[in-house]
Amino acid sequence: MKQLINKILIFLLVLLSGLLLLLVIKGDLDGSHLVYQSAINPKVGGPFESTNSTSRYLLTQAIVENRTFFLTKDQARASAPDVVYHQEKFFSIFTPGVSFLAIPFYMLGKVFGVPQLVGFLSVTVFAVLNAFLVAVVAKRLGAPKYPALLSGLIFLFATNGLSYSLTMTQHHMTVTVLLLAILLTLSKKSFVHALTFGVLCGVGLLVDIPNVFFLLPVGIVYLIQHIGIETVASKIKVSFNTVVFAVLIGIFPFLALFAWYNVETAGSPTRIAQSIGQTRFFDSAEEKKLKRVDENTKTLTQAELVPFKTRNELNSLYILFLSNERAWIFYSPVVLLGFVGLFLAYRRNETRTAAFLLVSVIAMNVTVYAMFGDPWGGWSFGPRYLIPSAALASSGIGYVLWRLRKNIVFMTGFILVLLYSIAVSLLGALTTNAIPPKVEAINLPDPIPYTFDYNLKLLDVSQLSSLVYNSFFANVSGGGNYFLIVFAIAVLLFAVPLTGMYFLREEKK
């Protein structure tokens, strides 16, 4: 009987998860055509509302359609300011990993006439994979199956990870690299594992430069595991396992690919687009005059080439952890329970290494972006730079749930915090990710809220980004009703693993 119930619950979990994602996928109608499949429309809430997605998507389009890394003038205009102008050519300011990984999805979508929809689904696929990987890590921390599954679902549907699973940005691919690297470090060592670890490091570099820093704690632990230290005749002898060379073999093809891309675009294997700077080509004459520049490309100072400054840390930590602009406590407070789980896991000898690795990467993620000049992540929804930390912290939630599942006060508080986090997460996914920092919002000619109050205002006027809503329900029901339907489905989804946790109890040894 338990096996049958287990199968039913897993089926419901997959069904409801897929339905929920379908209901929040972005898109709109223009007459009888999907406008976002053929036009770069920067409408609020659309796939192209932010140029960090547009620039990456148009690089994928340029590679597939024109066999080039360079953007046309129209593509560059749509990507500005996240575009570089160098040697009379335009190209994306971002590293090319996200665009490269989207190529097969774009090509598949092109077959069915919806390249944008399927191209953006490349990130959604990684997001779903991440939910599974978070659950796997949660099990390594000591959580049974259903509490572990809750950890994965919380990351995907109760944090801003949901909103950014619908964009063409680097965050979810970064999470995949980090989680897989951590799992490899916690696994038995072999040549294939070491080769895979090298591949992950190479992919991580292509996806986003800061990934090098995030992988550093994992890489150090991985390296230590392959070092032998012994005392011979009063001398210390250090030896390296030859498997370490497999890591270098795995990294090399991606370093070569990145170097080739940089040569083609920036003219040097070690020069990246960010070091050239954003173009001023599309600025009006008045804007250039105000900025006191006449050139087409901004020249970066030495200080700007190294954007990390310790003097930014205190203000950035406030923005990321306490402010109503970006902090988890306002956008997804359920994540904070994960740190309790990581602490409890660290106290157990068998899970200490796993907890240490997770906390180390979180600390590196926070430190790097606390030194960054833009902790807000531009116009964004929640702390988008901390999405990797949200995933790692979420993995600790399953264990603390299992430990405190019989505490009525804790579980009541957990459910209330979870419902709030789900509601805010869906609010962002169904409306917009483009919330300005306070310093910009209050200085706009027509000021808008700098918190998710902006999302609520869009919901009130039924300005939703959902393809399903805009295609089938916009003319028959208000956005508020649609939100309630989606929220109810999310509640049912989370009821599945909670049911499994209480009625199909597993005892951990």
Residue 202 has pLDDT above 60, yes or no: yes
96 three-state secondary structure:
coil
Count CB-CB contacts under 10 A for residue 444: 10
b/e string for 215-248 if b means 16 or more Cβ within 10 A? bebbbebbeeebeeeeeeeeeeeeeeeebbebbe
Which tokens go with 259?
């170097």
Q: How far apart are CA 158 and CA 146, in angstroms?
A: 17
Is 509 domain-assigned?
no
User: What's the whole-model pTM score?
Assistant: 0.91
Is 508 domain-assigned?
no
pLDDT per residue over 12-57, tens digit each? 999 999 999 999 999 887 665 666 767 788 889 989 999 999 999 9
* High-pLDDT (> 90) share of the chain, %: 70
Residues 6+ apart with CB under 8 A from 235: none
* Banded model confidence at residue 381, pLDDT cuts 50, 70, 90: very high
- Residue 300: the pLDDT is 47
Phi, psi for 297 (deg, rounded to 5): -130, 135
What is the full DSSP assignment across 406-427?
Answer: T-HHHHHHHHHHHHHHHHHHHH
Q: Nearest to residue 414, comparing CAs of 338, 472, 312? A: 338
Q: How far apart are CA 214 and CA 113, in angstroms?
A: 38
User: Which amino acid appears at position 302 of this protein?
Assistant: Q
Q: How far apart are CA 482 and CA 23, in angstroms?
A: 9
Please tell me the number of Cα atoms within 13 Å of 309 on its side-chain side: 12
Distances (CA, A) of 171 to 8, 204, 388: 32, 11, 7
The DSSP output letter for 169 is -
Q: How far apart are CA 46 and CA 441, in angstroms?
A: 20
Q: How far apart are CA 279 and CA 89, in angstroms?
A: 11
Which tokens go with 376?
């807000």
pLDDT per residue over 91-110, tens digit each? 999 999 999 999 999 999 99
Residue 242 has pLDDT above 50, yes or no: yes
Which tokens go with 68?
């080039």
Residue 406 has pLDDT above 70, yes or no: yes
Residue 298 has pLDDT above 60, yes or no: no
Residues 6+ apart with CB under 8 A from 21: 124, 128, 165
- Residue 310: the pLDDT is 66
Distances (CA, A) of 442 to 45, 436, 447: 21, 9, 5
Q: Which residues pair with 305 in a beta bridge?
A: none
**Is 311 exposed, middle or buried, given 0-12, 13-18 or 19+ CB atoms closer than 10 A?**
exposed
Count CB-CB contacts under 10 A for residue 473: 18
Is 124 domain-assigned?
yes
**Mean pLDDT on 310-332:** 89
384 three-state secondary structure:
helix
φ/ψ region of 296 (left if φ > 0, alpha if ψ in -120 to 50, else beta) reads alpha
33's enclosing H/E stretch is: strand 33-34
Total domains present in the chain: 1
Residue 397 has pLDDT above 70, yes or no: yes
Residues constituting the chain: 509
Least confident segment among 12-16, 171-175, 274-278, 391-395: 274-278
Which residues span the domain enclosing 27? 2-503
Q: Are strands 89-92 and 83-86 parallel, antiparallel or unpaired?
A: antiparallel
